[in-house]
Each structure stands twice: as C-alpha cells, then as structure tokens.
Amino acid sequence: MDRPSATPASPSPASPFLTVAVVGLGTMGSGIAEVLVRAGHHVIGIEPAERAAAAAVAALEHSTTRAVEHGRITEVERDAALARFCTFADLQAAAEADLVIEVVPENYELKREVFAALDAVVKPGAILTTGTNALSVTQLAADTAHPERVLGLHFFAPAQAMKLVEVVSTVLTSPEATERVTALVRSLGKEAVPVGDRPGFLADGLLFGYLNQAAAMYEARYATREDIDAAMKLGCGLPMGPLELLDLIGIDTAKTVLEAMYAASHDRLHAPTPLLNHLAAAGLTGRKSGRGFYTYQSPGSRTKVPDDFASEDELKSKGEAQRSETSTVGTTAGAGRTVRRVGVAGSGTMACGIAEVFAKAGYEVVLAARSLEKAASAVSRIAGSLARSVDKGRLTAEDRDAALARLTPSGSLDDFADVDLAVEAIAEELPVKQQLFARLDKVCKADAVLATTTSSLPVVEIATATSRPQDVIGMHFFNPAPAMKLVEVVRTVLTTDEVRTTVHEVCKRLRKHPVDCGDRAGFIVNALLFPYLNNAVKMVQEHYASVDDIDTAMKLGGGYPMGPFELLDVVGLDVSLAIEQVLHREFRDPGLAPAPLLEHLVSAGCLGRKTGRGFREYARA
C-alpha cells in the first residue's frame, strides 16, 4: 500500500538522519517505523506483503489518533506524521534513504539477499543496519560491497515503549557509522548500549538461556507452567513469566536464537530443549499461532483460554504415580490438618518476617531463639516493622496490637510442644538444620507439620533426621517475607498429600501464593535466577560488556526491576556463590560452574552492599 510522498519535517536537531527506510513491516518493523515518524523522520516502509503494509499504516493512524485524543499532539501534527510515512513493495524505494533498518525474518539467506539488493540501490553515504538478534552481523557485513557501513541495530518489542537499543559494531564497522547510529538512537529518547557481535548480544544473551531452562523445567514436569510463571513474577518481580514470554517472543524465534547461541558457546544450557523443537515443528509457536505453552483465544490474541495441554490435573496425577512408586509411606488425601498455633525457630531477618506474617494472619506464634533475650529482641524488631506499617497506612493500630499480642518470645524449643506447625528459619547449614529437626521431632506433638525454609538444601535430608519424614515439607518464603507474596512448597518423595494440603491452606490464610515444586537444588526461582546471574558475571569476566551496560540492558530491555549486578550485591556475593555451588553439585553441568570472577571477589571479602564493595563500591553507614 503506497502513500503519496510528502516533504519530510525536520527531525530532532541531534539526529544525523533525515530519511530512514525500514525493510519489513511486521510487528517490530512497524513499531520502529512509528518511533521514527513520531520523532520527525521521513520513513520509507518497504514490505512486499500488502496486508502487512496496510496494517503498519493502520497502526500508525490508530496510535496518532489516540495521541490527539489524549492531548499529546495536535491534529496538524498528526497529519504531518502520517504524511511522513510511505510504504512500498520494492527495495528500490530505499534509494533516497540516509539509513536503512532491516527487520525481515531471522533467516540468513533472506537477509543476505536484502543486503545485496540494497548495495545496488542506496546512495554511497547511506548506512545499513540489521535488526537480527541471533545471526552474525559480521558475516552479513562481509557479504556486502561496503562492510564498513553495516552494523546491528537491535530494538526490543514493543519498540514504541522499550527504551533499550543495542548498537552492534563488528570488526569491519567504521567508528563514524557507529557514532552516527548511536546519535540517532539517543535522539529517539532511547538508551544506546554498545555491544560486540555475538549471538543474542547482551540482553538476549542472558535472557534466552534463562527461558530455555524454564522450558526444560516444564518439559521435565518438575512444575506446572502456571507455577513456573507465577514463581518468577512473584519471586523476582518480573513483568512476565518465562513461558508466557516465550509465547510472546515466538517459540520458533527462541529456537533460532538458542541454536545460534549454542553454535557459538557449545554450552548445553543454550541447546534448545527438545520441547521447543517439537512445538516449533508442530507450528505451535506461541501467541502468533494461537497456541504455544498456553492456548490463546485466537492467533495474535493475548487472552489465554482453558486447555488440556499439560494441565494441572495431568501433572498432579503424574506426581502421585511417581510418589506411589518411590514412597513407602502412605499418603492421606482430602483436607489438611488444622493449624492454630505456629512455632518459628530463629531470630534473624527471615524468621522475624515469617513470624510477623503468621501473627498478622491471626495465628498464635511462638518465636524461639537461642536465648530468651534474642527472642525478645526479635519480637521488638517485629514491633518496629508493624509500627512502620501503621505509619504508612497499611495496618491499623488495633491490628498491630492484636498481632503483637499473638507473639510469644521463647528461649527454648520446648515451647513448641503444642504447636500445629513448626517453621525453621535458621542458618543455611545442613548439619545445623538436621540437629534442629531432630530436636523438633522429640518436642513437637505427633500430628504437627514440620517445615524448613531452606532455599537450596535437600529437604529430604533434613526430613530423614526425624522419625516422621512424611510430616516434613519445605516452605521457602522470600525476603522480605511480609511483602513478598510467593512461597515455594517443596515436597519430598516422602511428604504426604495431607501435609502438602495443610501448607497450601496455611498459605491461603497468609495471603501468599503457593507454588508446588519437587525437592531439588534451587527449587524454581533460584534454579532459574542464579544461572542467569552467573552468566552475567561471565560476560564481565570475558570483557564483553560492563557492569553498568549489563544492568541497563536487563532493566530497559528485559523489564527487570534490578540489573543482575545490583541484585548480586544486594543478595550478597557469598550467598550467591553458595547457591551456584549447590546447583553445580546437584546437576553436574559445566555451564553451572560458578564464574571464577565471582569466586575471586568472595575470596577477597568483596561480598556486596554488606561489606561496602562487591561489583560496585558503596558508602559505609
């Protein structure tokens, strides 16, 4: 669909390009075109499919109409913007462009053909860019007549909203071309992050390994798709779960990126999990096809509909079958046990947070520490936290007083004799936890549920320190416990259905979201989070990108609330290293081996915020 040519308005003063050609008007291409048009550029849209070209024009008309309705632009400005966008079916239309942005499908031969045709069409000073995030920009440039003018320009979807653009220079790219394109990106109000040419570049290089592991976790029936997605959203504050995101990106696209990453790294974590291959081969590519990990109302819809594809019932029945084969302990179906009184063992930050959560939910709570003084101090800290909630209007003074009245400090586990649920929140050391559970076994009544809050240790090894392992379960709260909604419910091969149901009922009363997972290192969140953090450290270690650029890329390109190095410094490098060591020991995968740079920083005592120095330096209090 062609629009009559019009004299372009002047772009922003900082921009070095007046006319830009966008080759390929799919979702990404039309989004980039809109960003450029609204920044004042004359955009030549090149798209052989008439329907796609018409859709791009309609999208611009719709967005500019909404901008007028919301008072962001005038009718005159809208008409001028629409006049700056022309669509054509032939690459010859790029002859007048100062810059070309190619956004055709991720197929090397197709892109090579496009660039060969552009070589014969564009003017000598024009710069050619590719929007690939998986293919070699260097190889693409080398196959052109002027490789010095070719570079990568990787926008993120949706281009109108996402602030990150990766500017990919090759060993053949002229510095002037890089500088001009970087200036353009900044003139659009985007953050330009310079990266070298390797599959996935920076953000996707970290993101797709994580997505692949999530798909593998689901394929292994370790957890349901809903629980995996909920865990990463509620446990890490991510805008989308990994399986939802794979459906949005396109499973075929993810497979292509991962294959390119694996070819370069030979890291098994980058090898597309078989499920991705099977879904792509079946045409179940996600939202665009109407079905991927989830089923959607129609192709292109974001609305999920019920289906029987790896449903909760299927996973539950499979889990019950596995337990019947491996467990010698009978399970009890039906309702859970009654819980009125709770014991919390520990006096640290997590123990205090958990005790506060239970007290606010109406449970009678005994908080036991090594001494009565430590327990009383912990209750005092809880009182301070409750007072702050009152000051912020999140809690009434009456509810605060009632919660405090339900808290009883104790210097002895003997006071757990009548609790219905005992929750351990002490040091993350297996022998220490085993010793505590042996004591709980002797002290607690016969029908009490015993829960550990471990984030990385084998729950079954803690359970077998007791004479009743069937009553032991993991309840992994996230810090800060009063604010974080997620609880990973970790069931061993010995845990009964009744105990699992009891914990789910308790979580509901606590207003927490429980997700079920099996007893293996990292559970859901840490098993997906820490390899991603470790890979970020490897990027810095290999001098591929800086700490600041990686943090910026993941916040702006991935929608993460914190960059990986901000998070590592908050969690503590020693804690992070310990979790990564546990994951490596459990799965024996070379790709999970802790990055040497992380080990060196821990050895040097640079543990993050708590020591004043980690990946960054911090002012001491």
471: which residues sit within 8 A by CB, 6+ positions away? 447, 448, 449, 450, 495, 496, 499
Element (H, E) at 168: strand 164-168
Catalytic residue among 212, 410, 456, 526: 526
Q: Which residues pair with residue 295 across a beta bridge?
A: 291, 305
Catalytic residue among 476, 535, 566, 576: 476
Dist CA 304 CA 287 (whole Å)? 9
Distances (CA, A) of 127 to 69, 84, 94, 151: 36, 20, 11, 8
- Cis before residue 480, ω within 30 degrees of 0? yes
- The distance in angstroms from the start CA to the end CA of the chain is 63
3-state secondary structure of 360: helix
Catalytic residue among 187, 289, 410, 455: 455
| Known active-site residue 479 | no
Do the Cβ atoms of 213 and 592 come closer than 8 Å? no
Dist CA 464 CA 316 (whole Å)? 24
Which DSSP symbol is given to 171?
T
Q: Comparing C-alpha atoms, which of 181, 190, 199 is closest to residue 158? A: 190
Catalytic residue among 488, 498, 566, 580: 488
Do the Cβ atoms of 358 and 347 come closer than 8 Å? no
| Known active-site residue 526 | yes
Both tokens assigned to 345: 């063992």
User: Strand 472-477 relative to strand 486-491: parallel, antiparallel, unpaired?
Assistant: antiparallel
Place of tokens 């190619």: 102
Element (H, E) at 513: strand 513-518
DSSP 97-131: -SEEEE---S-HHHHHHHHHHHHTTS-TT-EEEE-
3-state secondary structure of 249: helix
3-state secondary structure of 159: coil
List helix spans (H) across 480-616. 497-510, 525-541, 547-558, 564-571, 573-587, 596-603
| Helices and strands per DSSP (H, E), number in the chain | 23, 18
List helix spans (H) across 49-89. 50-69, 75-83
CA 308 to chain centre: 26
Both tokens assigned to 71: 């008072």
Dist CA 420 CA 412 (whole Å)? 17
Helix axes 547-558, 564-571, angle to 10 degrees: 110
- As annotated, the active-site residues are 455, 476, 488, 526
